[in-house]
Amino acid sequence: MSEVVLLQVIGLCVVGLGVVILLFIQARFLRVVGFVIIVLGIFALIALGVPQMASLPPAEEKFDVASIKTATDMAAIGQKIFFSKGQCALCHSIGPSESARCPDLKGIGAKLTREFIYESLTQPQAYIYLDFRHEGPPKEYPAKMPQINKNPIGLSNNEILSVIAFLQQMSGEPITVSPSEITQPAGQPQKVAALIPIVHGQ
């Protein structure tokens, strides 16, 4: 018996107890107690009837540098991060979606350079878009995107590179991120020289 089924059985018993109290007990206060537990039991049963999703802390992707041989290996890790720790799928979709609140990322790897993607992830406000959806001069339309390398998401440089590899791969583009850019274990310098962010003008 799963936890949900067990709780549903308990909920039904509680409602049943309330009904029994109302049917057979005349003491006023106890009748009110019976009524209250019926209401609470029904509430719990409704809550147990909706989709049960727990929010688990994101799993840390282990970077075993020795096991990453190809750019495809990086893209595979990037895909996991995209849907877990990176929380990208919370707002973005890959392909049209009714529930997506932020830009569709299908083909994004073909539209943007890796430098621009890196900058969009780490300095979302470096390039300010303009909003033309009204009369008069366009207004600045800053992105709501969080800085992905800072808390609460806090992706490491290796993880960001992997996500870029995934975005390029799913766009059908050649992956320009190389496994050689993966940072070595602690104590060794990071190889991020190739990813100096480019600050765009407005």
Partner 1 sequence: MKNHGGHPGLIASLFREQGSLIAGLSLLIALLGFPLAGLAQDAASASAAVAYRDIPQVGGSRNIIWVVAQQHLLLAGFVLGVPIFAWVCEIVGWKSGEKRYDKLAKEFTKLLTSAYATTALFGGILLFLLIGFYPKLMTYLTDIFFPSFVVYCALFLLETVTLYLYWYGWEAMQGGGMKVLHLFLGFLLNVFAFFIMIVPNSWATFQASPVVIAEGSALARAWAATWNPTWWPVNIHRLIANVVLGGFICGAYAGIRYLSATTAEERDHYDWMGYVGNFIGVFGMLPLPFAGYWLMREIYQYNQQMGITLMGGFLSWLFILQAVLIGALFLGANYYFWLGITHRIEGAEAKYRKPIMAMLVILLLCLGVWMTPHSLVASLEEARKMGGTHHPLLGVFGVMSAKMTVVNLMILVTFMSFVIYWRAGKEETATWAKVAKAVMGGVLGLAAIVVIILGVWGYFVPAIVRINYFSVAQVLIVLFVMLTITPLTALLLRSAKTTTEMVWGRMPPRAGYALVMNAVMVILLMTLMGYARSSSRVHWHVYGVMRDSSQYAYSPALGYAAVFMSLNTFVFCLLVSFIFWVATMGDKGKSAEVSGKGKMPAGAVPAMAGGSQKLDGK
Taking the C-alpha atoms of residue 181 and residue 194, their distance in angstroms, rounded to an integer, is: 9
Q: Which of 9, 13, 20, 39 binds partner 1 (CB under 8 A)?
A: 39
Helix (H) or strand (E) holding 131: strand 129-131
Site for partner 1 in 2-21 (CB under 8 A): 3-4, 7, 10-11
Q: What is the three-class DSSP state of 120?
A: helix
- Select from 200, 121, 103 the least CA-distant residue to 164: 121
Select the span of 23-31, 63-71, 159-167, 188-196 touching partner 1 (CB under 8 A). 23-31
Residue closer to partner 1 (CB basis): 32 or 196: 32
Q: Does 98 interact with partner 1 (rule: CB under 8 A)? A: yes
Rounded to a whole number of angstroms, the minimum distance from the CB of residue 126 to partner 1 is: 18
How far is CA 125 from each of CA 132, 162, 195, rounded to the nearest angstrom? 18, 22, 17
Residue closer to partner 1 (CB basis): 39 or 196: 39
The bridge status of strand 129-131 relative to strand 139-141 is antiparallel
Residue closer to partner 1 (CB basis): 36 or 65: 36
Query: Tokens 């390398």 belong to which residue?
Result: 149
Cβ atoms < 10 Å from Cβ of 105: 23
Site for partner 1 in 54-93 (CB under 8 A): 54-58, 87, 90-91
Binding site for partner 1 (CB under 8 A): 3-4, 7, 10-11, 22, 26-29, 31-32, 35-37, 39-41, 43-44, 46-58, 87, 90-91, 98-99, 101, 133, 144, 146, 150-153
